[in-house]
Structure 1
Amino acid sequence: MSNHELKILDRNGDTACCEGLAAAPLKDEQAADLAKAFKALGDPVRLRLMSMIVSREGGEVCVCELTPAFDLSQPTISHHLKLLRQAGLIDCERRGTWVYYWILPAALDRLAGFLAVPQR
């Protein structure tokens, strides 16, 4: 996700690196970057995967622990995880046979900051 022109508010409402939704209309490139992340989060399976990863003690989880929670095939789960990675919301690392996933907190902070509307 590109954040070179977006201003984000931090959790205290202070200006961080980029502007949020209320600051100015989005440019085409900004809207396209944000849409990738929001589209990735727009699926119930991917939202559950994100929740399972972020709530995991230690902050990372093996794909072998994610797959049994769904009535979906392993390739389908891998596809959903790939879309979350392409949207810049998670990252992963192969360790032997298994792949471990973790959330990228800065990406979620950018989305939350973008949606934050200052009290007027």
Structure 2
Amino acid sequence: LMAHTMRKMHPLLKIINNSFIDLPTPVNLSYWWNFGSLLGICLMMQIITGLFLAMHYTADTTSAFSSVVHICRDVNYGWLMRNIHANGASFFFICIYLHIGRGAYYGSYKYKETWNIGVIL
């Protein structure tokens, strides 16, 4: 009982409680709602692997292929970063199409805040 009241009374814990524990969720919550968080994770992975790949890539036309070979052979886990980055792009577009389709199906385009956040992103 004490932890329950502390969770709702303490200023810092109250923010966490309202954001994660007592989060208001819709009744029609299904697995379709996971694609938004998957998009965020996928975007972070794309940015991280893209930055690491850009550190070793050369954009010059004569040495671009050699730099990709260098990434795959000489950089620690370079082959893995390249594969994650390439397949992550495909997975990102699959998730974004499913996410937009879910929003269209449930009529999320009617809500101004949802539309504005999507446009900003």
- Tell me if TM exceeds 0.5: no
Report which structure shows greater RCO (CA 8 Å, sep ≥6).
Answer: 1
| Structure in which a larger fraction of residues adopt strand | 1
Query: How high is the TM-score relative to the length of structure 2?
Result: 0.31
Greater CA radius of gyration, 1 or 2?
Answer: 2
